[in-house]
Amino acid sequence: MLNLDRITLDPDICHGKPCIRHMRWPVDVVLDLLSSGMSIDDILADHPELEREDITACLQYARLLASGEPIQRVA
């Protein structure tokens, strides 16, 4: 099951980049944290405003973009 409803696009937040739940947390920043070696638990401990489902939604969003599958609804 996809959690893409957690990924939002708003031209007034982070220049319209895909973000988590209308917060100023762009998907690419979360992916950078993960690729730097931080675990999901590390990220959640450092940033309590985030939820585990937010991070998995970022991974799902990135997978869809990389696969070329159409993203049905991100808003």
7-8/19-20 β-pairing: antiparallel
Check whether 68 has a pLDDT greater than 70.
yes
In this predicted model, what pLDDT tens digit does every residue of 4-14 receive, in sequence order? Answer: 899 999 999 99
Task: Map tokens 């690729």 to a residue.
Answer: 35
Cα→Cα distances 43→5, 33, 47, 57, Å: 20, 7, 6, 14
9-54 pLDDT, tens digit per residue, is 999 999 999 999 999 999 999 999 999 999 999 999 999 999 999 9
User: Which has the closest alpha carbon to 54: 13, 17, 10, 23?
Assistant: 23
Q: Identify the pLDDT of residue 1.
A: 57
Looking at 3.40.50.1100, 1.10.10.10, 1.10.730.10, 3.40.50.720, the CATH number of the domain 4-67 comes to 1.10.10.10
pLDDT at residue 67 is higher than 50:
yes
Is residue 53 within a helix (H) or strand (E), and if so which, with residue range?
helix 52-67
